[in-house]
Structure 1
Amino acid sequence: MGQITRRRPVMKLVLGEGAVRKTDTLAVEEPLEIRVASSPLAVTMRTPGHDRELAAGFLVSEGIIARGEDIRTAIHCGGPGTGGTENTFNIMDVALAPHVPPPAPEAARNFYTTSSCGLCGKASIEAVHTVSRHEVATDPVTVDAGLLTTFPDRLRERQAAFEKSGGLHAAALFDAASGELLVVREDVGRHNAVDKVVGWATLNHRLPLRGTVLQVSGRASFELVQKAVMAGIPVLAAVSAPSSLAVELAESTGLTLVGFLRGRSMNVYAASHRILSGDVQGLQAAPEEAPVA
């Protein structure tokens, strides 16, 4: 497995106090080419580590597979010009099970995906609206609001690489009823961290992820909502803001979307019936705000 962090020299400057030479820890960012049956499908910029999970989660997010049984093998393979004899940790080749059809040619990305955008380079905007094979709207799960407020700190406590570099996103999966922390993954890309969590569940034959909460360390984008829905996760919580399109997708799929989960407060943007708290008894609907001119 490649390095997660690297040390580099840096000049630290504080105005009025001077400058010093020191070493800094950086989050590693390297490309990973994901192939299906030796055919290139996508290239994503990621932090090395848990690449099998990343590839599996990516394929779930793209609707190419729906369960762990859909993957026969997933291995790192030789790079160009090596004749297949030299192992590289930047190419992951996935062989699908015989019953799974190969991805359509148009599924391949036009461009590589960056660590900040898991949807860049889609062949068409229509392809973003992948139909999930796991229904979340019918999941009857509920989660205690007090329990939910503990998740961000518990996620942060497990961010070992973030503590060293300050440059990694993280995602964690919790059991909604008991609050058990099931898995944590870090990556320079927030979408990769979620794919690694989903991939962990896929390879451990836990899909769909009914009765769980996906906690992320940053904002809630459209793509993160889509990935949660594709994995059958009914609740997505973020410490920062959601986008308008993320809220629209959550509403249309029945996913509970929580944003600005900090301390004892949160905003519930969609499917609020799953969040249990005595503070919401008799709560009146907020009036629509007039649009800003």
Structure 2
Amino acid sequence: MASILDSVNQRTQMVGQNRLELLLFRLSGKQRFGINVFKVREVLQCPKLTAMPQRNRLVRGVAHIRGQAISIIDLSLATGGPAITDINNRFIIIAEYNRTVQGFLVGGVERIINVNWEDIMPPPKGAGRDAYLTAVTEIDNELVEIIDVERILADIMPVNTDVSEEVANQPVTVNKENISILITDDSSVARNQIKRALQSLDIPLEVFKNGKEALDWLKGKAKEVDGPVHPHVPVIVSDVEMPVMDGYTLTAEMKADPDLQKIHVILHTSLSGVFNQAMVKKVGADDFIAKFHPDELATAVKKWLNDVVEDV
């Protein structure tokens, strides 16, 4: 276990070209799952848990770790499986999502693998856990499932998606006729949250599930308008972690394309930390916002809409 912890610490400082590193784990059966290493703070053998009155049934208790009380979510229960048993001999993955720290109770932790986002695919329709999957990949001839953690957290701790009246009333000076905003996120929960936060803009939204879909659409738009796309699609709000093509690669591809490079890119992700600020500069994104705060997102979108230069 010490080697896994060392690898997590080292690899969270790394990033590849459209690549990610997954920490593999199991829940209550043989099926393997993966979580992005960049989300992981540490992996620990499950400590003693303190029961909480009126807690959500998916939360097994609270662990006191490094001076912080952290809710421990049974990831098997959360995805419709049986509760994990013998928890004293199980492990917790401490991760940071959407500005909060959570602990995920798992049956066992295996190893870290390096894969290409092109090899990460959307889950097959009709799969048993499809409602809680955001992607799948194949490792050692076995299917590895990547859980939609944002959906699980939304079930346990629903977030407010309403924009405040103050922000909603902030003016947008760009001409709203014949423009749209592009959204790309592999999580259905996140897509709905973003759409709700931006609905007060009264601007059509184009929504996609991964960077490749978004890039193909934008290139098609460039052919349609025969030139720069930014007067028609001034802003894109993109997740970072997505199958097929991640948000960093999408941004780099856009900024390298003369017809797309003036579109303002807001990277909107549950990843957080100084690391992401460095990546924003590296790929040329215009903004980075950690999920999920509707006022911050709406304010950023309005800022970049008002900054549009109408030069076709």
Mark yes or no: TM-score above 0.5.
no
Structure holding more helix per residue = 2
When the two structures are superposed, what TM-score results if normalisation uses the length of structure 1?
0.29
When the two structures are superposed, what TM-score results if normalisation uses the length of structure 2?
0.28
